Amino acid sequence: MKIFFILLIFFINFSQISKAEFILKKIIDLNNPWGSSFIDEDRLIVTEKSGNIKLVNVKSKNIINIEHNLNYLEHGQGGLLDILFKNSYVYISYSENRGNLKTSTSIARAKFDKKKLNFENIFQAEPPINSGYHFGSRLAIKDNFLFASAGERGEGMIAQDPTKHPGSIIRINIDGSIPKDNPKFNGKSDWLPEIYQIGVRNPQGLTLSPFDGKIYLSNHGARGGDWFGEAKKGENYGWKILGWGGTNYSGIPIGPKWKPGFTKAIQYWVPSIATSAITIYKGKEFNDWNGHALITSLKDQSLRKLIFSNLSDVKEEIIFENKIGRIRDIQVHPNSGKIYFLGGESLWLMEKS
Q: What is the DSSP letter of 216?
A: E
List, in order of start, the domains of the chain with CATH numbers.
32-274+307-314+338-345 (2.120.10.30)
**93-106 pLDDT, tens per residue?**
999 999 999 999 99
Buried b (16+ CB within 10 A) or exposed e, 277-288: bbbbbbbebbee
* Beta strand 145-150 pairing with 136-142: antiparallel
Of the listed ranges 7-21, 251-265, 266-280, 295-309, the one predicted with least confidence: 7-21
52 Cβ contact partners less than 8 Å away, ≥ 6 residues apart: 31, 65, 80
pTM metric for this prediction: 0.94
More confident residue, 17 or 152: 152
So what's the pLDDT on residue 19?
52
193 Cβ contact partners less than 8 Å away, ≥ 6 residues apart: 178, 182, 184, 185
**43-88 pLDDT, tens per residue?**
999 999 999 999 999 999 999 999 999 999 999 999 999 999 999 9
For residue 175, count CB atoms less than 10 angstroms from its CB and return exposed for 0-12, middle for 13-18, buried for 19 or more. Answer: exposed
**In the predicted structure, residue 165 carries a pLDDT above the cut 80:** yes
Q: Which residues pair with 278 in a beta bridge?
A: 295
Strand order in the sheet with 339-343: 22-29, 346-352, 339-343, 327-332
Q: How many CA atoms lie within 13 A of 274 on its CB side?
A: 13
Query: For residues 19 and 13, what is the distance between their CA atoms, to the nearest angstrom?
Result: 10
So what's the pLDDT on residue 20?
53
* Bond from prior residue into 127 cis (ω within 30 degrees of 0): yes
